[in-house]
Every structure is written in C-alpha cells, then in structure tokens.
Structure 1
Amino acid sequence: MSQTKTALRLRAKEARSLLSPSQIAEYSAAIGRRLLDLLNGFETIMVYVSKVPEVDTGDLILDLNRRGVQVVVPIIERETCSLRLSYLPDPSVLVPSTFNVPEPLGHELPARPEDVQAVIIPMLAFDAKGDRLGYGAGYYDRFLCRYPHPIKIGIAFSCQQAESIPVEGNDVKMDYIVTENEIIRCSGRAAPQ
C-alpha cells in the first residue's frame, strides 16, 4: 500500500471524526434521500450495513424494504477475502461480526451476485473522478472485478473528498458518488429508470 493512500486514509478518518453524532445523522439522512431518488426503479440492491462513524445505512435499508426492493447485504469471509451475499428483509437479525460489521449471521438468505442491479459501497476517501479508498482489504474491489455488472454507488460525507486518489490496476471506479451535498456522476452510465 502506498504512503499516499495511507496518508489519505488518515486524513479522511480525521475529517470524519470531527463530525458530531447529530451531523452524522443529518448528513446520513440527506445521503439516504438522494440515494432513494437515484435508485428509483431498482429491484435488487446491495447495501453495506454501516458501523459508527460511517454513513448510516439503517434508515436506507428500512426505506428500501418498505418500497418492496430486495435488499442484499454483504457478509465478510476473511478466510477467502471475499463477500458472501444475503437478502435482508428484517434488519433486526443483524449482529456485530467481522470487523464489528453487522451481519445476518444465523439468518442468512443466500443471494446471487448476478441478481444485484446496484451496489452501495462505503468509502473512506474519494475524488470527483469516481476513485475511492476503502479500508484497504480490497473486499469490494475483488467482488466488483468478479461481478462488474451492477451500478457502483459510493457514499461518504463531503469532508472525506480528496483532490485525487491514486489508483492501481485492481481499484474499481464508482459510477456515482453520493454525499450530503450532491450526486456526482463519474461515468457515462445512467441509472435505469
């Protein structure tokens, strides 16, 4: 991992840590509203389950379920460095698991990656071109290299934006980035209507 990526991760974590819990709640709600508009018409959406202090996806998951959308969540498989997918019709079954990420362990409803139309991805840092930094383990990049068909939507707070993110061959670019302030279209790919 490059020193630049390490420095950008630290800067983004520091910027995010300065947000108060009420700001995180307010900004997460704004991001959720933008996402619901962007995702209108989708039937199967993969959404990461957030942990503090990430963009909170709890209400988004509930809203998508209420709309009748099939919500799919990732389950981290450390042994294979991959993501396993499960439908999540009931968020009350989530329990903290790998890296303290909430997962539906014991209540899994296996989902096929081929059925996912859009993926909501956590970002530690990002730039306006659609390049992102995650936490460094590469779970999403590996998943998206293997299953490139879904629309890729990264979400983060605007304070996590960098001027430029260094990219490597296995880094996957986002189609859209959503912050509390805007939706950035990073590719020529349009959201289905």
Structure 2
Amino acid sequence: MITAVGRISNTAPLKRKFIKAVRRALRRSLTGYMKLSEKESLRERGRRIRKILPAKAFLSGQICERIMGWDLFVSPRRVMSYCAIDGEVDLGALNIAVPARELYLPAVVPDKSGLAIEPRRFFQGAVCVKGKFGIDEAPEGAPVIKPEELDLILVPGIMFSLAGGRIGFGHGYYDRFLASCAPAVKAGVCFEAQLGEDFEPDKDDVSMDFVITEKKIYEIVKRKEEGK
C-alpha cells in the first residue's frame, strides 16, 4: 500500500505538468477563437450597417468633397482609389475629378499566395470591366504601377477603428498589398456609423494612417507614436 502511494506521488508532478500544458493549449485555442469570433461579429455588424444606412449616396458625396479638399489629396501625384461594391462609400465623383493626377484602381488577380491586388491606371473616359467579386476595375492591359510608387491609397473596408484597425471581407489580399506600399499614406474610407471600438489586429493586418468619414478626417495618433 505504501509503495503504491509512493508511486502515485512520484507521478503527480508529471500529471500537474500535463494538466498545465493542456490548459495553456486550451487558452491559446480559445484566445484565437475569440479573436476570430470578435472580428466575424464586427464584420457582420458592419455589413448590416451598410445595408440599412440611409442616404448613402448623399453621405458618399460629402466624403468625396472632404477628400478633395484634403491637403494630402491635393499634393500626391499617384492616387489609388476604388470602385464601390456592397454598400461601400462611393468614390465615383472623386474618381472622375482627378485629371491632374495619375489615378489607379485595384484589380484582383491570381497570385502564388492566392489573390493579389494589381494597381492599374484608370484614364478618364475609359470603360471599367467587371473583375473578381463583381468589382469594377480598369481594363486588362492598362498600365500597372509598382505598389511602392503610390503616394496615397484610399482603402475601403467594412469596419474601422480610431486606432487604425480595419476589417475587410477576410480574404487577406488587401493587407498583403498594403504591406508592400510602405511609403504611401493609407486612408481608410467609411461612413461614420462604421467606426467601431478598438479590436485586436491579426499579425498580418496593416493599420491605417487616417480614417475618413462624412464627419471628419481622423489622423491615427497611435501610428505616429510607434514611429518615435
């Protein structure tokens, strides 16, 4: 009996280590699930907001006016905008009002990582074509620029935070593209109602330098502090 008890007591430390390891693994798994669940919840919330938000055309016009009067929009030579889909802020008025600049639109193309963004030059009067996901793009064969040569990128999204966080559709190609555009100013574009609480970014997420709504152009102070 004593021997048996001794054997049990000798294995107790191993059992405790095993239990601790299992608990750590469960915590890591749960944390990852909670992050995913939080982002999915915010993504769904953003979709609902865009769907029910009234006067989107009017608010989009206000945002276009705000951007066109912005110093950082007036000075850059190469600007990448986008064509709206699924209730996004419509920058159509802005896209036809930049004759003095080079305007680029994102085209979604196949890539070794799955999908990638190709910034194609859009010329006034050109006819856009439907690309992947039904998004209007500059036609194939249009001049393409290197990502690092862009000066300003207007970035769509489903939700943004005032810490510079962005939630998109979840495909990942926008963040991969933005990571290769280090010198460019990155400005998220959304309706004020799409601004949410801060959320934990994934390791591959790229923060915005500004977030632009119909009410205000928010400069992301956190990015400036990190660069000190």
* Within-5 A mapping of 1:39-58: 39-58=73-92
SS of alignment partner, residue 64 of structure 1: coil
1:181 aligns with: 215
In structure 2, the residue matched to 1:114 is 148
Structure that is richer in helix per residue: 2
- Find the counterpart in structure 1 of residue 56 from structure 2: 24
Query: Cα distance, 1:78 vs. partner?
Result: 3.6
Q: Which runs of 5+ in 1 are unaligned?
A: none
Counterpart contact for 2:210–2:220, Cα < 8 Å: yes
User: 1:112: how far off?
Assistant: 2.3
Letter paired with 1:33 = E
Structure 1 partner of 2:68: 36
Structure with higher RCO (Cα < 8 A, 6+ apart) = 1
The alignment status of 1:128 with 2:162, answered yes or no, reads yes
| Most deviating of 72-81 and 112-121 | 72-81
Partner of 2:106: 74
Q: Does the 8 Å contact 2:150/2:181 carry over to 1?
A: no
TM-score, normalising length: structure 2? 0.76
1:138 & 1:13 partners in 2: Cα distance?
17
Give the paired residue count. 185
SS in 2 for 1:184: strand
Amino acid across the alignment from 1:31: I
Q: Report the Cα distance in structure 1 between the residues aligned to 2:187 and 2:125, rounded to whole angstroms.
A: 21
Q: Deviations over 1:144-170 (max 9, x none)?
A: 112211000000011111112221111
Larger Rg: 2
What is the CA distance between 1:52 and its match in structure 2? 3.8
Report the CA distance shift for 1:172/1:160 in structure 2 as closer, same or farther (over 3 A). Answer: same
TM-fit CA distance, 1:8 = 0.3
Cα deviation digits, residues 98-123 of structure 1 (max 9, x gap): 00110122452222223210100001
